[in-house]
Amino acid sequence: MFKGSNVALITPFKNNELDVDGYIKLIHLHLKNGTNGLVPAGTTGESPTLSHKEHQEVIQLCIKESNGKIPVIAGTGSNSTEEAISLTKYAEKVGANGVLIVTPYYNKPTQEGLFQHYKAINDSCGIPIIIYNIPSRSVIDMSVDTMARLYELKNIVGVKDATGDLNRVDQQKKKLGKDFIQLTGNDDNAFEFNKRGGVGTISVTANIAPKLCSDFQKFSVSKSDNEQKEAERINNILQPVHNSMFIESNPSPVKYAAKLLNLCSDDVRLPLVKVTESTKEIIKKVLISANLI
């Protein structure tokens, strides 16, 4: 169920309020362009600065508007186990197909603490859980051994790997087996990630290039030499786009790109700010080069 191009949805704002119409527009853009799954209320969706009510609304709207056409993997992580349980129960109640739960940031739990955090969430629900391992933001790295322990639990099904270390794909596949779902959180390594046993991505770039990203994912796992070559061609087009999305803190660059494409405003919530003029110029040039504008 969870494979291919899954978009880490941005959350559009207008006058610092959730732009519901803009959000619905984004969802339908993905339904029309082959995106394989929607991931609302993650880091790219600015979950740290969404109120609890907004967090729930973003998830509920995504499920309602997608109407079962593609899977919804709701971001329900928190560094508070109690809050993560509450959000996960809500996502399950309103019909999410799965949840994405980030390792608890700031607290710096041990590997045993990580295990107990996810186990408590697992034991409270009946929905598939994808671990989100992103050491650069959460300061902790879940070990392959801890992941293997968690995979024995009923609801843990895979990982969004944002370590940037391609060797982890091999290690996780060897330890947990081929049925453990591995999605990359790094757009720039998606081609090699899939070659090593990954099955897709949770993508920032898909917000602004949904068709290219979905086509790339489809071709990258094909056995056909011609389709592999097409995947490589698209990957070469997308690499500068991927890189430009992280010149400044995500999601400020991708929101500016979305503005250029008339998808939504580039408003972000403090402590994030809009990108600088120099970054704007780079993003414009990259989008033109990729024929996105």
Q: Is 23 part of the annotated catalytic residue set?
A: no
Three-state secondary structure readout of the chain:
CCCEEEEECCCCEECCEECHHHHHHHHHHHHHCCCCEEECCCCCCCHHHCCHHHHHHHHHHHHHHHCCCCCEEEECCCCCHHHHHHHHHHHHHHCCCEEEEECCCCCCCCHHHHHHHHHHHHHCCCCCEEEEECHHHHCCCCCHHHHHHHHCCCCEEEEEECCCCCHHHHHHHHHHCCCCEEEECCHHHHHHHHHCCCCEEEECHHHCCHHHHHHHHHHHCCCCHHHHHHHHHHHHHHHHHHHHCCCCCCCHHHHHHHHHCCCCCCCCCCCCCCCCHHHHHHHHHHHHHCCCC
Q: Is 118 part of the annotated catalytic residue set?
A: no
Residue 263 lies in a domain: no
Residue 287 lies in a domain: no
Which residues constitute the domain of residue 17? 4-224
Residue 292 lies in a domain: no
Residue 249 lies in a domain: no
Q: Which of 90, 118, 132, 256 is catalytic?
A: 132
Does the predicted TM-score (pTM) go above 0.85?
yes
What per-residue confidence (pLDDT) applies to 188? 97
- Alpha carbon distance 60, 41 (integer Å): 10
Q: What is the CATH number of the domain that holds 91?
A: 3.20.20.70
Give CA separation, 48 vs 23, 79, 153, 197, 277, in Å. 18, 10, 27, 31, 26
Residue 212 lies in a domain: yes
Q: Which of 3, 90, 118, 160 is catalytic?
A: 160
Residue 185 lies in a domain: yes
Number of domains in the chain: 1
Residue 266 lies in a domain: no
Token duo for residue 53: 């009510």
pLDDT, one tens digit for every residue, the chain (293 residues): 899 999 999 999 999 999 999 999 999 999 999 999 999 999 999 999 999 999 999 999 999 999 999 999 999 999 999 999 999 999 999 999 999 999 999 999 999 999 999 999 999 999 999 999 999 999 999 999 999 999 999 999 999 999 999 999 999 999 999 999 999 999 999 999 999 999 999 999 999 999 999 999 999 998 899 999 999 999 999 999 999 999 999 999 999 999 999 999 999 999 999 999 999 999 999 999 999 99
Residue 242 lies in a domain: no
